[in-house]
A and B are shown apart, each in its own frame.
Chain A
Amino acid sequence: MDESTAVGEPLVHIRNFRMDFGSQTVIRDLSFDVHAGETFGFLGSNGSGKTTTLRALLGIYQPTAGVLHIGGKVFEPRDGARLGYLPEERGLYKREPVLDVMVYFGRLKGLSRDAAAAWSRTYLERVSLADKATTRLDKLSGGQQQKIQLGVTIMNDPELLILDEPTQGFDPVNRRLLMDIIDEQKRAGATVIMVTHQMDEVERLCDRVVLLKDGTAEAYGTVEDVQDKYGGTVVRLLYAGPLPTSDLFDVISADGSSAELAPRAGTDETEILRELLGHGVAVRSFTPARTSLEEIFLRVYGNQNELVGV
């Protein structure tokens, strides 16, 4: 990735990607880019082809058709390349001591033995596993093994960090720790591609997202673009008095003192406020906001999941 990128091509470039497994088409036609330095959310329901796309991007799967480039070319597992990949299927050499495994991967990623050992000890200290350095990996809990896996992934300051469901297996405390570490990598200049179902974290960390559905990009752009496209804005209201019915908005939820209203097309929030006041509603708080990604995710994939459930 430190080599010259094709002129004008983003760090990650996917065009017309198609992936068949036998007679089954998993990805139909997918195109998106990830620019250097951004944090990119790769979203989709279970089985939508996110992991398949990442594996094809990393040369683990051979694509049926299309272009998948990293740094302007097809990815080749080059010794010492500064790529950090946390796969969905996790695993390390379980019968070996933690430090030995970390040093091994550190060496493979281009660090000297001493540098890899020093980095590993510092990391273990940070994730409260310093006393486990000489313990075999299979003697650690699942969450502890996940931390080691993350450590191996971010060794040697990767330029491109690809995380496939990074929070999988973490409790809320360690999830926060993990997100902090990812945030640090981002601030250090790493490009991050993240597959996750934690929509609050996507909103917090990601610059842009792609929503994968039926083997193609259902939505693609900045988080705000997607919110605008699928949810627009909502009005969060604290009030007293009866809530009137109106042609200007739909009531998403209301409990007598708070409500969430969805403005109808072409309606301005100011008109809604005027309408409410005109009907004698005692408005204590009136806050226009964007629809959450979680809500959008439910809207986009809700029917699909119901069908799957059937």
Chain B
Amino acid sequence: MAQHNLGTVVGFEFLRVVTKKRFWFAALAVPIALAAVFALVFISNSSTDQTAKAQKNAQFTFTYTDESGLVTTAVAATFGGTSAADGDQAVADVKNGTVDAYFAYPADPATQPVRVYGVDRGIFENGKYDAVARQILVAGAQQTIGSPALSAMAQGDVKITSETYKDGQVSGGLDTVIPPLLFLLIFYISIVMLGNQMLNSTLEEKENRVTEMILTTMNPTTLIVGKVISLFMVGAVQMITFALPVVIGYIFFRSNLNLPDVDLSHLVLEPQAMVVGFLLLLGGFLLFTGTLVAIGAMVPTVKEAGTYFAPLMIMIFVPFYVVSVIVSDPHAVIVQVFTYFPYTASVTAMLRNGLGSLTLAESGIVIVELFGLGFVALRLAVYLFRYGSIEYSKKLALRSVLRRKSRA
């Protein structure tokens, strides 16, 4: 029956959130904004790309002078250019409209600018002069090199793979750091997005005076656990809703959106770091959830609950103020304090786990601490809800609730 009721609570709590218009309004606001930005970038890039291509192949009349010796007559001719005998005359021809443009290639284009003079065709179309002048120079340089491979290398178009060693074994470098740090990202997103809901999850029972009905109908542990599970599910829906446009944009429109081409196959999933990261995520989530739900059971209103929310949020961001110390000196006292202080432990430990400076023993201690205190916080939340949430209109004094229980 308890399991039946857990499912009932999870279903009720989950559906009553995700069937609300305001949930989807809030959840879709960011993806819609992202999609709109992507669409604008896409349209803009497509238009720019097409125009640039059109400009690159644009045919217009121009003259040029070349002191570098890189520009060949044949290449210039393909773009419609002819050599000019006198630069000043060529500029004058542009000014009076006899030719569309004049390019003056200097003796050393690597250090000296190529001067371009053109008839004004509007801000955007004027770009064709630069594009053609540049293309002629590039083609000339490639002909001088005489090898496409050397040309590519000259342009820095080379692939490099590096291999580093740690304790005699190949270490993955940045590729091993990224995967475990994803747990930290998930932790932040889930706490920031769900924190307020965690805090308010039991307040609704108090504010609606439904506590007594609940307390005499079901076990409060079932209610609290059900609420936590449904919060997790709501968070998953929100994260999927947030991530979907990014994933779609990356997979299908990467080149159009100028997104970096990240080769995910290079990422290295180190089993120990991944398992530790996952457990730290779960333990941290459990501790913060338990704490926030317990606070919610203590205070009478949403407004009052809010005053407790800010300090907890600060604690998960505080480790980033010493991130340089965490990276460079993980044994520093401040890093050790942050590693073991419960409300900074999850973030600090996840950072150190990703960077490879968290030992297995330290991992074990922090994980046990997070899970232990998380369960204590959840038990306290259940206890406060059961014996304290009947105080509908005033804040609970934790000491008096505990004293009442022990006396009984």
- Find out whether the CB atom of A105 lies under 8 angstroms from the CB atom of B215: no
Which residues from chain B sit less than 8 Å from chain A, CB to CB?
1-2, 4-5, 8-9, 12, 16, 204, 208-210, 212-213, 215-220, 222, 386-387, 390, 392, 400, 404-405, 407-408
- Find out whether the CB atom of A108 lies under 8 angstroms from the CB atom of B404: no
- In the complex, what residues of A have CB within 8 A of residue B1's CB? 78-80, 110
Q: Choose, from A29-37, A82-90, A230-238, the stretch at the interface.
A: A82-90
- With most chain B CB atoms within 10 A of its CB, the pick from A76, A80, A91 is A91
Q: Is A50 an interface residue (CB 8 A)?
A: no
- Find out whether the CB atom of B212 lies under 8 angstroms from the CB atom of A107: no
Residues 65-100 (chain A) with a chain B CB within 8 angstroms: 75-81, 83, 85, 87, 89-94, 96, 100
- Bound CA span A85–B210, Å: 11
- Bound CA span A64–B400, Å: 13
Given A79-B2, A80-B1, A92:B404 Cβ within 8 A:
no
- In the complex, what residues of A have CB within 8 A of residue B408's CB? 62-64
- The distance from the CB of B203 to the nearest CB of chain A, in whole angstroms, is 12
Q: Is A118 an interface residue (CB 8 A)?
A: no
Q: Choose, from A53-61, A191-199, A257-265, A299-307, the stretch at the interface.
A: A53-61
- Find out whether the CB atom of A60 lies under 8 angstroms from the CB atom of B8: no
- Find out whether the CB atom of B8 lies under 8 angstroms from the CB atom of A83: no
- Find out whether the CB atom of B210 lies under 8 angstroms from the CB atom of A77: no
- Bound CA span A89–B12, Å: 23
- Find out whether the CB atom of B215 lies under 8 angstroms from the CB atom of A96: no
A-B pairs with beta carbons under 8 Å apart, 20 shown = A55-B390, A60-B215, A60-B216, A60-B387, A61-B404, A62-B387, A63-B408, A75-B216, A77-B219, A79-B2, A79-B5, A79-B222, A80-B4, A80-B5, A81-B217, A83-B216, A87-B212, A107-B12, A108-B5, A108-B8
- Bound CA span A202–B255, Å: 81
Q: Is A119 an interface residue (CB 8 A)?
A: no
- Find out whether the CB atom of A89 lies under 8 angstroms from the CB atom of B5: no
- Find out whether the CB atom of A79 lies under 8 angstroms from the CB atom of B219: yes
- With most chain B CB atoms within 10 A of its CB, the pick from A83, A92, A104 is A104
Known: A55-B212, A91-B213. 11 other contacts (CB 8 A): A55-B390, A60-B212, A62-B408, A75-B216, A76-B219, A77-B220, A78-B1, A85-B216, A92-B210, A108-B218, A109-B217
- Bound CA span A152–B9, Å: 16
- Find out whether the CB atom of B405 lies under 8 angstroms from the CB atom of A62: yes
Residue of A nearest to B13 (CB): A104
- The distance from the CB of B389 to the nearest CB of chain A, in whole angstroms, is 9
- In the complex, what residues of B have CB within 8 A of residue A104's CB? 8, 12
Q: Which of B217, B387, B404, B405 contacts A105 (CB 8 A)?
A: B217
- Find out whether the CB atom of B215 lies under 8 angstroms from the CB atom of A108: no
Q: Which of B210, B219, B386 contacts A91 (CB 8 A)?
A: B210
- Bound CA span A93–B405, Å: 28
- Find out whether the CB atom of B213 lies under 8 angstroms from the CB atom of A92: yes
- Find out whether the CB atom of A87 lies under 8 angstroms from the CB atom of B405: no
- The distance from the CB of A16 to the nearest CB of chain B, in whole angstroms, is 14
- Bound CA span A152–B217, Å: 11
- Find out whether the CB atom of A94 lies under 8 angstroms from the CB atom of B208: yes
- In the complex, what residues of A have CB within 8 A of residue B217's CB? 77, 79, 81, 83, 105, 108-109
Q: Which of A64, A85, A92, A107 contacts B208 (CB 8 A)?
A: A92
- In the complex, what residues of A have CB within 8 A of residue B5's CB? 79-80, 107-108
- Find out whether the CB atom of A89 lies under 8 angstroms from the CB atom of B212: yes
- Find out whether the CB atom of B213 lies under 8 angstroms from the CB atom of A105: yes
- Bound CA span A90–B217, Å: 15
- Bound CA span A162–B204, Å: 24
- In the complex, what residues of B have CB within 8 A of residue A61's CB? 387, 390, 404
- Bound CA span A81–B387, Å: 20
- Bound CA span A64–B407, Å: 7
- Find out whether the CB atom of A85 lies under 8 angstroms from the CB atom of B213: yes
A-B pairs, top 9 by smallest CB distance, nearest first, are A91-B209, A62-B408, A87-B212, A79-B5, A107-B8, A85-B216, A79-B1, A80-B1, A91-B208
- Bound CA span A81–B2, Å: 11
- The distance from the CB of A297 to the nearest CB of chain B, in whole angstroms, is 26
Residue of B nearest to A149 (CB): B213
- The distance from the CB of A36 to the nearest CB of chain B, in whole angstroms, is 19
- The distance from the CB of A102 to the nearest CB of chain B, in whole angstroms, is 12
- The distance from the CB of B395 to the nearest CB of chain A, in whole angstroms, is 16
- In the complex, what residues of B have CB within 8 A of residue A80's CB? 1, 4-5
- Find out whether the CB atom of B208 lies under 8 angstroms from the CB atom of A93: yes
Q: Which of A22, A85, A93, A109 contacts B204 (CB 8 A)?
A: A93
- The distance from the CB of B242 to the nearest CB of chain A, in whole angstroms, is 25
Residues 230-269 (chain A) with a chain B CB within 8 angstroms: none
- Bound CA span A85–B212, Å: 8
Q: Which of B4, B208, B400, B407 contacts A79 (CB 8 A)?
A: B4
Q: Which of B4, B16, B392 contacts A89 (CB 8 A)?
A: B392
